[in-house]
Amino acid sequence: MFDNLTQKLTQTFKNLRGQGRLSEDNIRDALREVRLALLEADVALPVVKDFINKVRESALGEEVVKSLSPGQVFIKIVNDELVKLMGEHNDRLDLSARPPAVILLAGLQGSGKTTTSAKLALWLKEKEKKRVMMVSTDVYRPAAMEQLAHLGKDIEVEVFPSRPEQQPVQIAKDALEAAQRGVFDVLIVDTAGRLHVDDAMMAEAQALTAAVQPVELLFVVDAMTGQDAVNTAKAFNDALPLTGVILTKADGDARGGAALSVRAITGKPIKFMGIGEKIRKGLEPFYPDRLASRILG
């Protein structure tokens, strides 16, 4: 998608020789290339406009030093602005609360919440040496509860048993109590999603949030959903006190666009990326500079 952006940018500056300044005139074509690349990657229009303005501002008046060509200077500016937009560094999970630290995952059905719960549990267990418990509050889909129980067995992580006839909030409260009794460090709460944003889903996520007071309330979003990711992110961010985002299926079409939009629109850091269906090796911390390099190609 973004593959040739660096190449295209280099090309647009080809005829501009020597030193001097980047000017409104000589960056026009380059800005157009950046704009097109971002739009093609499904970055939301207001985010693209804002980004182009920032790049323009940084570029104008920037002295082109001897050792670099104007193209190189411009590409560096685009890179730096991309990194800035995405938050500069990896934001770690905040697990400093009195244990058990509760992590609640919210998002649409199919976004990857259950898979991500297990990936995160394994990551915390292996990388952070935490004792982790998981629980599913998705009473609408017994298969989702079974899926989590099954994944827990696979990765040897405790799953608090829950049943479809129970109330989601009660399940979460009981699980929290069990996690306290069992001296677990972290409790991961997997919640029910719907195919589209709806009030009942948000009300339930709000009730769960109030009941278990998560230190991390993570919005799980499918990177492949393009422009829809933006609307979904906005709805969840408006309804819930999100602390961060997990971008799943970033292994797919590699549309970095969703990362840019979701970050810009929610203002919340992307903390992890899902990079495959496998629980092992399917999750990695999100590094803005790596995504910036990928976008620039």
Q: Which residue positions form the known binding site?
A: 107-114, 190-194, 248-251
Q: Does 136 bind ligand GDP (CB under 6 A)?
A: no
Which residues 250-269 are close enough to bind ligand GDP by CB under 6 A? 251-252
> What's the half-sphere exposure (Cβ side, CA atoms, 13 Å) at 130?
23
Q: Residue with CB nearest ligand GDP?
A: 274
Distance (Å, whole) CA 194 – CA 148: 17
Q: Which one-letter amino acid corresponds to residue 210? A: A
CB-nearer residue toward ligand GDP: 22 or 201: 201
CB-nearer residue toward ligand GDP: 183 or 200: 200
Distance (Å, whole) CA 255 – CA 294: 10
Angle at 148 between CA 143 and CA 153, to 5 degrees: 125
Stretch that binds ligand GDP, among 13-21, 40-48, 255-263, 271-279 (CB under 6 A): 271-279
CB-nearer residue toward ligand GDP: 174 or 251: 251
Q: Does 162 bind ligand GDP (CB under 6 A)?
A: no
Q: Does 249 bind ligand GDP (CB under 6 A)?
A: yes
Q: Do residues 77 and 62 touch, judged by C-beta distance below 8 A?
A: yes
Which one of residues 111, 225, 243, 266 is an interface residue with ligand GDP (CB under 6 A)? 111
Sign for the pseudo-dihedral over CA of 206, 212, 213, 218: negative
CB-nearer residue toward ligand GDP: 79 or 109: 109
Binding-residue total with ligand GDP (CB under 6 A)? 19
Stretch that binds ligand GDP, among 25-33, 84-92, 244-252, 289-297 (CB under 6 A): 244-252
Q: Taking Cα atoms as reference points, which of 89, 18, 5, 7 lies closest to residue 55? A: 5
Number of Cβ within 10 Å of residue 28's Cβ equals: 11
Residue linked to tokens 């295209």: 8
CB-nearer residue toward ligand GDP: 110 or 161: 110
Beta strands 244-248 and 20-21 are unpaired
CB-nearer residue toward ligand GDP: 58 or 136: 136
Residue 100 is classified by DSSP as S
Peptide bond preceding 100 in cis form (omega within 30 of 0)? yes
Stretch that binds ligand GDP, among 17-25, 37-45, 110-118, 285-293 (CB under 6 A): 110-118
| Residues within the interface to ligand GDP (CB under 6 A) | 107, 109-115, 144, 193, 248-249, 251-252, 274-277, 282
